[in-house]
Structure 1
Amino acid sequence: MHAAILTNFATPKGGAEKVAIESARGLAERGVAVTLIHGVDGPADPLLDHSRIRRIGLGLTDVWERPAWRGAIDGIWNREAARRLEAALAGLPAGPDVVHLHQWTRSLSPAVFAVLARSGLPVAVTLHDYFLACPNGVYYRFDAAEPCALRPLSGSCLAAPCDPQSRAHKAVRVARSLVQRKAIARGFARRPLDLVHVSDGSRARLEPMLGATVFRHHRIDNPVRVERAAPADPARGDAVAFVGRFTREKGADLVAEAAHRAGLPSLFVGDGPLAAELRAVPGAEVVGWRAPAEVEALLRARARAVAAPARWLETGPLTVYEALAAGIPAVASDRAGAGEKIRQGETGFLVAPEAGSLADAFRRLKDDAVVRTLGRAAHARYWAAPMTLAAHADALCDLYAGMTGGPRAPSFQRSAVM
């Protein structure tokens, strides 16, 4: 088996790249030959240093770093990305059996769908967000600070001032969505795209939006690259932790406000537009981005719980899974896909993404006995059915086998594929 994995970057700029890189490593360790093709050149994650992984950079530019007019054009349809991807696939000594696309909006553009359709190869796409259906990618009304309820690309959608930046940006995103929809409908009428959903909630929302005409839908958990160790003792921690990009749709401001109300410090690992606002909240500490090993050590030392109270319909935040794997309770939004892994009152809490409800949950974390019991249950339940890199690779191999007609993995090795 030879799998080509396609994404924007060879280093984690977000959850999509993180999963693409980790899945490449997991597949390589399972004996699969992997070619990772990334749009933007630059340093590569050390996980890609493996004898079965070939890495090809297309030498493209992140559209966020281009002049606005050029970024808009390339974001809608990047002809150079299409040309270079086609050349890269044609130049491989042995062609791939399957192509797996993880993200395309930052450098590759919808033009890659036309290239992949012409290749005749089976194509899988992991849906880390809502870009395949929704113009702004998160199915969220930034103007109203609430999840969207409109049908993507309907008249109401086109008229809604929902973009996080401006109406001009919305117009560009709509144009991208329209040409993307057309490219997929034309290119995959005879060979469907295989779509991988990372949570039951996101599948339930996206499947009706996308339909089944040119898609086949599957469900596979994202991998969690955490080595099994003794559970943390969260009762020794002093703070509620938030890990990731500091934005309102992710609820970073809610964590700071709710922790302050509950009389607990808050710890923020990452960065984002709300960094200065968070630093101004009494009891909040912002430490910036850290390497994965540093994040785990910091959470084990400081976190009474990890909070992810997203306002948007988040598909599956990895930070929640990583916390549970370490034996740290999680407090998540009842809108997020990660909530499917939390047992209410047993391994953490699911709450509405608003400060009052979150503060009530945080107050319960002030009890050492409660926190310690939650943490132990979180560790035990996670490791009873861990979302390991090996389990993820097995699930991908089963998916690829179904797409290509090859042999499937033994049933005892499979992860959640439905």
Structure 2
Amino acid sequence: MHVGILTNFATPRGGAEKVAIESARGLAERGVAVTLLHGVDGPADPMLDHPGVRRIGLGLTDVWERPAWRGAIEGIWHREAARRLARALADLPVSPDVLHLHQWTRSLSPAVFAVLARSGRPVAVTLHDYFLACPNGVYYRFDKAAPCALRPLSPGCLAAPCDPQSRAHKAVRVARSVVQRAAIGRGFTRHPIDLVHVSDGSRARLEPMLAGGPFRHHRVDNPVRVERAESAEPACGDAVAFVGRFTREKGADLVAEAARRAGLPALFVGDGPLEAELRAVPGAEVIGWRAPSEVETLLRRRARAVAAPARWLETGPLTVYEALAAGIPAVASDRAGAGERIRHGETGFLAPPEAGALAEVFGRLKDDATVRRLGQAAYDRYWAAPTTLDAHAEALCGLYAGMTAAAEAPSFQRSAVM
């Protein structure tokens, strides 16, 4: 089998690229030929250094780095991205059996859906966020600091000042969503797009939003890039750790404030717009981004727990799964996909994304016996049914086999849902 994987970058700028890159490696290790096509050129993650992985950069520019007017145009419909992708696919010595798209908003744009449809190959899309349905991608009201409850592209949605930047940005994102829907509706009339959901919660929310479209729905866990080792000793740690982008929707500010109230240090790995605010909170330490191996070592040494108290309806933050695999308790928002993997009071805690509720939970982490018990239970439970890279690749191979078989079937029911 030959699989073409598409994403914006060849380095993990976020969860989507991280999963795309690790999927490529996992599939290659199972003997699958992989071509990774990424919009923006640049250094590649070492995970892609495998003889079974071919890497093709399309030489595009991140739309965030463009002048505003140019970024808006290319974000809505990037003709050059479509042309270069079509040429890259045509030039491959062997055509992929399946094409799998992970992210497209930063360089590829909805124009790539037209190319994928014309390819005639089965197409999968992993939904790391809500961009296939929601204009701002996170189904979150930034004006209200709360999850959205509106139907995407409904009159209420169009009128809502929900964008994190401005109404002008909202208008551009609405235009992108409209042309995206049109491209999918026009292009995928013979075969559906196979959508991969990474948590039960995100599937339950997205499936109704996408009802009536040419989609089949599947559930595949994201891979956890942690080699099995001895369980960590979180009771020896000193801090509550947050790993990721420092934004309010991800709850970075909640971790800092709740840790301060609980009398625990807070360790922040990453960067983002709240960095200066976090540095000003007593007891908060910000160390910037680190390589995955460094992060794992740091968490094993410093973390009493890893916290991910997202305000938005996060699909499935990888940091929580990685913490559980290492034997570190996790604290997650009770509205995030990660909560499905935490047994409240057994392997970690679930809490509403509010500083007071989190401070109460963090206070329980000051007890060494509690932290030790939670960490060991997290480790035991994770490794009883691990979502390893190999397990992820095996699930993808099963998905691709079903997709290719369906594509060869004499008829197709447009409304089919799996």
In structure 1, the residue matched to 2:389 is: 389
In structure 1, the residue matched to 2:313 is: 313
Q: CA separation in 1, counterparts of 2:115 and 2:215?
A: 17
Instruction: Give the C-alpha shift of residue 333 in structure 1.
Output: 0.1
Matches within 5 A, 1:138-217: 138-217=138-217
In structure 2, the residue matched to 1:40 is: 40
Q: Secondary structure at the match of 1:124?
A: strand
Instruction: Give the C-alpha shift of residue 366 in structure 1.
Output: 0.5
Aligned residue type for 2:52: R
Q: Secondary structure at the match of 1:313?
A: coil
In structure 1, the residue matched to 2:334 is: 334
Question: Cα deviations across residues 19-39 of structure 1 (Å, max 9, x unaligned)?
Answer: 000000000000000000000
Q: CA separation in 1, counterparts of 2:291 and 2:39?
A: 23
Question: Cα deviations across residues 364-390 of structure 1 (Å, max 9, x unaligned)?
Answer: 001000000000000000000101000
Matches within 5 A, 1:18-33: 18-33=18-33
In structure 2, the residue matched to 1:62 is: 62
Q: CA separation in 1, counterparts of 2:265 and 2:83?
A: 52
Q: CA separation in 2, counterparts of 1:170 and 1:176?
A: 10
Aligned residue type for 2:269: V
Aligned residue type for 2:35: T
Instruction: Give the C-alpha shift of residue 190 in structure 1.
Output: 1.6
In structure 2, the residue matched to 1:409 is: none
Aligned residue type for 2:227: E
Q: Secondary structure at the match of 1:100?
A: strand
Aligned residue type for 2:246: F
Q: Secondary structure at the match of 1:5?
A: strand
2:72 maps to 1:72 = yes
Question: Cα deviations across residues 263-290 of structure 1 (Å, max 9, x unaligned)?
Answer: 1111001111101100111111101111
Instruction: Give the C-alpha shift of residue 189 in structure 1.
Output: 1.8
In structure 2, the residue matched to 1:115 is: 115
In structure 1, the residue matched to 2:354 is: 354
Greater shift, 204-213 or 255-264, is seen at: 204-213
Q: CA separation in 2, counterparts of 1:338 and 1:290?
A: 22
Question: Cα deviations across residues 285-344 of structure 1 (Å, max 9, x unaligned)?
Answer: 101111111111111111000000000000000000000000000000001001000001
Aligned residue type for 1:108: L
User: Residues 196, 212 of structure 1: CA spacing in aligned structure 2 closer, same or farther, 3 A cutoff?
Assistant: farther
Q: Secondary structure at the match of 1:93?
A: coil
Q: CA separation in 2, counterparts of 1:377 and 1:71?
A: 47
Matches within 5 A, 1:177-326: 177-326=177-326
Q: CA separation in 2, counterparts of 1:158 and 1:50?
A: 46
2:22 maps to 1:2 = no
Matches within 5 A, 1:126-137: 126-137=126-137
Aligned residue type for 1:121: R
Q: Secondary structure at the match of 1:260?
A: helix
Quick one: percent identity of the two aligned structures?
85
In structure 1, the residue matched to 2:101 is: 101
What is the TM-score of this pair, normalised by structure 2? 0.97
Q: CA separation in 2, counterparts of 1:178 and 1:146?
A: 24
Q: CA separation in 1, counterparts of 2:238 and 2:213?
A: 52
Q: CA separation in 1, counterparts of 2:232 and 2:117?
A: 48
Instruction: Give the C-alpha shift of residue 405 in structure 1.
Output: 1.6
Q: CA RMSD in A?
A: 0.7
Aligned residue type for 1:322: E
In structure 1, the residue matched to 2:49 is: 49
Q: Secondary structure at the match of 1:344?
A: coil
Q: Secondary structure at the match of 2:224?
A: coil
Q: Secondary structure at the match of 2:131?
A: coil
Aligned residue type for 1:252: A
Aligned residue type for 1:65: E
Aligned residue type for 2:99: V
Aligned residue type for 1:225: R
Aligned residue type for 1:2: H
Q: CA separation in 1, counterparts of 2:405 and 2:216?
A: 15
Instruction: Give the C-alpha shift of residue 211 in structure 1.
Output: 1.0
Q: CA separation in 2, counterparts of 1:389 and 1:71?
A: 35
Q: CA separation in 1, counterparts of 2:212 and 2:349?
A: 35
Q: CA separation in 2, counterparts of 1:364 and 1:213?
A: 46
Instruction: Give the C-alpha shift of residue 213 in structure 1.
Output: 3.5
Runs (4+) off by over 3 Å: none
Q: CA separation in 1, counterparts of 2:230 and 2:41?
A: 39
Q: Secondary structure at the match of 2:350?
A: strand
Aligned residue type for 1:11: T
Q: CA separation in 1, counterparts of 2:163 and 2:28?
A: 39
In structure 1, the residue matched to 2:409 is: none
Q: CA separation in 2, counterparts of 1:214 and 1:259?
A: 46
Q: Secondary structure at the match of 2:241?
A: strand
Q: CA separation in 1, counterparts of 2:272 and 2:61?
A: 22
Q: Secondary structure at the match of 1:149?
A: coil
Instruction: Give the C-alpha shift of residue 212 in structure 1.
Output: 4.5
Instruction: Give the C-alpha shift of residue 127 in structure 1.
Output: 0.2
In structure 2, the residue matched to 1:344 is: 344
In structure 2, the residue matched to 1:412 is: none
In structure 2, the residue matched to 1:17 is: 17
Aligned residue type for 2:29: E
Between the two proteins, the alignment pairs up a number of residues equal to 407
Instruction: Give the C-alpha shift of residue 44 in structure 1.
Output: 0.6
Q: CA separation in 2, counterparts of 1:52 and 1:295?
A: 27
Q: Secondary structure at the match of 1:288?
A: coil
In structure 2, the residue matched to 1:414 is: none
Question: Cα deviations across residues 171-198 of structure 1 (Å, max 9, x unaligned)?
Answer: 0000000000000011112210000000
In structure 2, the residue matched to 1:87 is: 87
